Each structure stands twice: as C-alpha cells, then as structure tokens.
Structure 1
C-alpha cells in the first residue's frame, strides 16, 4: 500500500447524516475485505473528520497530520476487527483516532519530562560537554532538517526517536513492510547527518 496523502489537504467534506447509507455500508464492506480502492475512498471521505479531531485536541497541525496517518494505517491493519453490527465505520475510526490522540499527548508529556529533567541537571548554568555551542547548533539543524523530510520518513523517525519504537514496532504500527521502514529510516538519517555535517563545516 502506498503512503497516504496529507489529511490536511483537499479532501471531501465530512458526510452529513443524510448521506446514502447503502454507499457507506458498501465502502465498509470493501474496506474489511482488503480492497485498496475502498480504503482510498474511506480515507477520502473521513480523513477530514479524524484530522479535525486531532487538530482540536493537540493544537498542532503537524502532530494532527501524524495522528490521522496513524489512525488510518492502524484501521487498515486491524480492519478485520471492525463489525458493522457494533456501529458505523466513522465511529470506529473515531475510536481509533482518540487512542492515537491519547498516545500523542503521552509522548508529548514524556518529551516535556525529559526536557525538564535535563534542565534540572544543567541548573548550575555552566554548559557541560553536551551543551557546547556546536551541540546546540546540531540540535537546531536536526530539527530543521526533520521538517524537510518527506512525510513518511519524518513519521518513521518521530516514532523511532520520540516514541522509542524499534523498526519492528514501527512496521507493526504503520503497516509498512519492515524492509521499507529500515530503508526510509536509513535514508532520512543519512540526509540529516549530511546536512548537519555540511552546515557545521560552514561555521568552523
């Protein structure tokens, strides 16, 4: 399955209650069977709903986009767990989205705690070896370069470095083949490393 487009881009409006129920059921049935065309239509129809929920909760467009991607990838991977008798497909997707949003908040809290712990250790105000100006520059460059990566590579590195997931866990979460995950991670790291090295050389 190819990478999903950005849910923040031009997608169909959220369907109203008057939408044809038979069409929704047909899409859900195709989705559960593993029909990729049905999956694309499901994404096109409800991505805006999932994205808006994530954006309102997280207050960050990039994080909301990541959550929407994770939601639909998780839904595709676990599609056999959907049963129409328990409720419509959009409600099931929202349930997955809420769990992914909670995960994003938890990851954000962990990053904040780590930053606070680091600040406490460096409370003396005397820069240690890890806080030399070159290291600070590297962190800025890495952050900037991360934003330039293609969405799939950026998402994989965030899962690896911010959520502490292994390549196997990333493959399970995203539904991507393990070899694809490793390839994306390797290319992204090489690109960042090359950029940091080149930029650091300019200030020497």
Structure 2
C-alpha cells in the first residue's frame, strides 16, 4: 500500500501542492499551512502589536479567515503564503481601526466632560474619563478576569452590580479587581512620566 503524502512514513507535499489542496478544501492542507506559515503570520502580528494576546488573536483570525474564504483563493495566481500575508495585513488594519475607534470615543468623552458645567458630580465624571484613558493605553497588559471586568465597566458602562450579575463574580471581588487594576494603571503611567487630568 502506497504511503499517503503528509504522513510520517510519506513525504509532505511542496508549497504549491499545499496551496492546491487548500483551495480544494482538503483539511490536512490547513494543518500543513499552519505548520509552515503560522510563524511568519505571527511575526507580522507581533511587529504590529508586540507579543501577547493581540498577536495571537490575529494569527488565529488569519487562518480561520483563510480557511472559511478558501473559495476565493486562486493557487495559480498567488502562492498560499502570500495570500495569508495579505489576509494578515487586513486583520492588523482591522484591529488598529478598532483601537482607533475606541480612542476617538474616549477623546469625545473627554471633550464632553470638559464642556459640561462644573457641578457636584463633575469629580466623578473626571475620574471616569481619566480611568477610561488609562484603560485604553494599558488594557492589553491585563490578565483575566481583570481585563474582562474592566472592559465591561469602561467599554460597556456596566455598574459593579451588573458586572457581578453577568460574570457570576461576587460584587465585592468585582469592586476589588477594578480598584486594584486602576491603581496599577495609574502607577504605571506615573512611572512613565504621564500626568493624570486634574
């Protein structure tokens, strides 16, 4: 019985053959593609975002998008690694666009807070705006569950009680995580020489 290409006893196909099998929807070709080019794709993502979850997410998104969109891949027109690189560039651009949107929303919140007449509740508003800016700059450094809690608090504007209800984490723990996380974020910015809004 002849050995099957790609098995331990056989010989892996060359890159062009992997591309042809990928376009044909052969699942083993996705495994080969990942083994051969995930490092290159991940390297691009790391250069864009630094090492960490963002780069890992983009790498995964590239291969998922490539596989689900394989009907658009033409192996005779472009080699598979070049197609993957193109998808990676789009995913990186999408991720930066999301970050930029979050920053614009935060800047709009700052402008709105500054335009609001001073009143008894303004210190709380200023604190929320300052914390939101800190979170935007430092969110990627947080682990779970702190990151998830902070995202719910600052990007979805949930109260502590709502976060507790949604996540199943006790209310006191939610409050502690937010307090400690914001303290760490402030400390990091102070070490970097950044000043918080007065």
Give the TM interval when normalised to the shorter protein: 0.5 to 0.7
Note the aligned Cα RMSD (angstroms). Answer: 3.9
Contact conserved, 1:67 with 1:101, CA < 8 A, in 2? yes
In the TM superposition, residue 110 of structure 1 has moved relative to its aligned partner by 0.5
Contact conserved, 1:68 with 1:97, CA < 8 A, in 2? yes
2:124 matched to which residue of 1?
127
2:169 matched to which residue of 1?
195
What SS class does the counterpart of residue 85 from structure 1 fall into? coil
In our comparison, the structure showing a higher alpha carbon Rg is 2
In the TM superposition, residue 83 of structure 1 has moved relative to its aligned partner by 1.0
In the TM superposition, residue 65 of structure 1 has moved relative to its aligned partner by 1.3
Report whether the alignment pairs 1:99 with 2:102: no
- Taking a change above 3 Å as real, the CA distance of residues 199 and 73 of structure 1, as seen in their structure-2 partners, is same
What SS class does the counterpart of residue 95 from structure 2 fall into? helix
- Taking a change above 3 Å as real, the CA distance of residues 192 and 38 of structure 1, as seen in their structure-2 partners, is farther
- Taking a change above 3 Å as real, the CA distance of residues 191 and 98 of structure 1, as seen in their structure-2 partners, is farther
- Unaligned runs of 5+ residues in structure 2 are 1-10, 157-162, 178-198
Report whether the alignment pairs 1:73 with 2:64: yes
- Taking a change above 3 Å as real, the CA distance of residues 35 and 52 of structure 1, as seen in their structure-2 partners, is same
Report whether the alignment pairs 1:52 with 2:43: yes
| Greater RCO structure (CA 8 Å; 6+ sep) | 1
1:169 matched to which residue of 2?
none
Contact conserved, 1:51 with 1:64, CA < 8 A, in 2? yes
How many residue pairs were aligned?
142
In the TM superposition, residue 200 of structure 1 has moved relative to its aligned partner by 3.8
- Taking a change above 3 Å as real, the CA distance of residues 102 and 129 of structure 1, as seen in their structure-2 partners, is closer
**Within 5 Å, which residues of 2 pair with 1:128-167?**
128=125, 131=128, 147-148=143-144
1:168 matched to which residue of 2?
none
In the TM superposition, residue 92 of structure 1 has moved relative to its aligned partner by 0.6
1:30 matched to which residue of 2?
21
- Unaligned runs of 5+ residues in structure 1 are 1-19, 163-188
State the 4+ residue runs in structure 1 displaced beyond 4 angstroms: 189-192
- Taking a change above 3 Å as real, the CA distance of residues 202 and 59 of structure 1, as seen in their structure-2 partners, is closer
Contact conserved, 1:58 with 1:105, CA < 8 A, in 2? no
Report whether the alignment pairs 1:117 with 2:113: no
In the TM superposition, residue 192 of structure 1 has moved relative to its aligned partner by 6.2
How far does the alpha carbon of each residue in 1:110-164 deviate from its partner, in whole angstroms, 9 at most, with x for none? 0111111122223365214994xxx99xx8xxx79x8437xxxx8xx99xx79xx
- Cα distance in structure 2, aligned partners of 1:130 and 1:194: 26
TM-score by length of structure 1 reads: 0.56
- Cα distance in structure 2, aligned partners of 1:55 and 1:201: 33
